[in-house]
Chains A and B, each alone.
Chain A
Amino acid sequence: MSFHHLDQFATVPSPVTAMPPVARLVGATSVAVGAATLPLGAWPAAAALGALVAAMTLLARVPVPLLLRRMSGPLAFVLLASAGLLVFVPGDPVLDLGWVAVTRPGVERFGFVLARAVVALSAAVLLVTTTEFPDLLDALRRLRLPRVVTTALSLAYRLLYLLMEELERLLRAARSRNAGAGAASRRRLAAGVAAAVLQRAFARAERTHRAMLARGYQGELATLTEWRWRAWMVAALATLLGLVLVTAVLARG
């Protein structure tokens, strides 16, 4: 079990990875929010924002299949959550399923919700694929996200790996004793392992807090990173934000 590859394109030299993380974060967020708030039926605007993300993906040299694969998980949730639109939006039926009918307005609305989600998710996935987590955290700090949130995220990032290691160890130990054969046994094993990992997580958190205090921690997590802004970076971010804004305004016009 490993997710070491999550930000593997963060070190690939490209105009996208050359931008300060805060610019990447602001850019991706503006595209995602711009897409998510498009009025229903604004297909040209959705296509324009989609094209913007596609251009960024090419510039960042991220393979499109990889991007699509990473989007598939969250997209499945969107599909599941919005599938009801197909049948619950009243209108002309286009497909009769016997006890329920798929309607034309339902298909349109479902399609547009999906399009918005694809654009917003692709922007978010592109961001995490091209930005290392520590840089992302630094960007959040610079955007004045509350310290308590960035500190919690920072510690959670490291703790997540430790918990995965604990989980692997526990599962290996359980399997070595033939645990988990049969559905009921697997369920019991999962519950037991989850409880043990939770218990260890609390103990680990207590020890880590002591280790922090031992090195002078007084409630504020100071950082090392310093990024330099250049004129082209400011211009690129301003252009991106401008495009998103114009698209949003035109979509409502």
Chain B
Amino acid sequence: MTAPLVEIRELGFHYPDGTPALDGVSLAVARGERVAVLGPTGSGKSTLLQHLNGLLRPTAGGVWIEGVTVDAGPGLSDIRRKVGLVFQDPNDQLFLPTLMEDVAFGPLNDGVGPVDAAARATAMLRELGLDGVGARAAHHLSGGERRLAALATVLVSRPVVLALDEPTGDLDARGRMRLVDLLRARGETLLVATHDLTLARALCGRGVVLYGGRVVADRELGALLADRALLERYGLESPSGE
């Protein structure tokens, strides 16, 4: 049996003010698996994702990517290249004067030269249908374009794990479908933190429910979504159309 790509064991985390956010979370994700991390606001979804590439340090337990511990050691930059984290608000991720610079930011930090970084950024923008907007600043883009641009800034580093935090927050139905098609066509292992169960159903095969910082359910997504009592108990709404 092969080791999981992402392994989380007994993960606990308290914010500096003492607020508990995660408590004994354990999860193993196989290569190529697409997992929806579900739960209401404040359940710990974003906090969990930020542990995957060492932005937050656990107060208990740990996280392993391809068997390597996520900690402050010399392997952290490699972990951050392997785990692409797309933040909830794309504006947090688009901080440079032009989109091209934003997309090239990751490769440049990985030591790729300016010419190759620009070529990779151009190719990435083209792949996501954003060709022609590279010279523009993020404030000149629509909400949907910003969302795709934020994704481009991460995909360009060729991550093996893609962690998306509420990726459909500001997307309309067409934008959501476009995102789903795009992610389905790619091979990265996926962790999607969301309370959008329609998105989860369209994209993922497995669902994990977080509530109060603890895993309260982990099963095949279809079975999970069919369990109305469970959804209701943990403040989740059935997917649209049901």
Contacts and interface: CB of A to CB of B under 8 A. Distances in A.
A137 B106 contact: no
A157 interface: yes
Interface in B148-170: 153-154, 157
Given A215-B106, A215-B153, A224-B117, A210 B101 contact: no
Q: Which of A157, A162, A222: most chain B CB closer than 10 A?
A: A222
Q: Which of B53, B109, B117, B121: most chain A CB closer than 10 A?
A: B109
A208 B157 contact: no
A176 interface: no
A137 to B, nearest CB: 7
Given A215-B109, A218-B109, A224 B118 contact: yes
Interface of B: 50, 53, 55, 77, 80-81, 85, 87, 89, 91-98, 100-101, 104-106, 108-110, 114-115, 117-118, 121, 137-140, 153-154, 157
Interface residues of A, number: 30
Given A158-B96, A218-B77, 16 more contacts: A132-B97, A133-B97, A154-B97, A158-B138, A162-B91, A165-B139, A210-B50, A210-B55, A211-B92, A211-B95, A215-B106, A215-B109, A215-B157, A216-B81, A216-B109, A224-B104
A225 B121 CA distance: 13
A137 B50 contact: no
A224 B101 contact: yes
A21 B241 CA distance: 56
Contacts of A155: 95-96
A226 interface: yes
Interface of A: 4, 132-134, 137, 154-155, 157-159, 161-162, 165, 204, 207-208, 210-218, 222-226
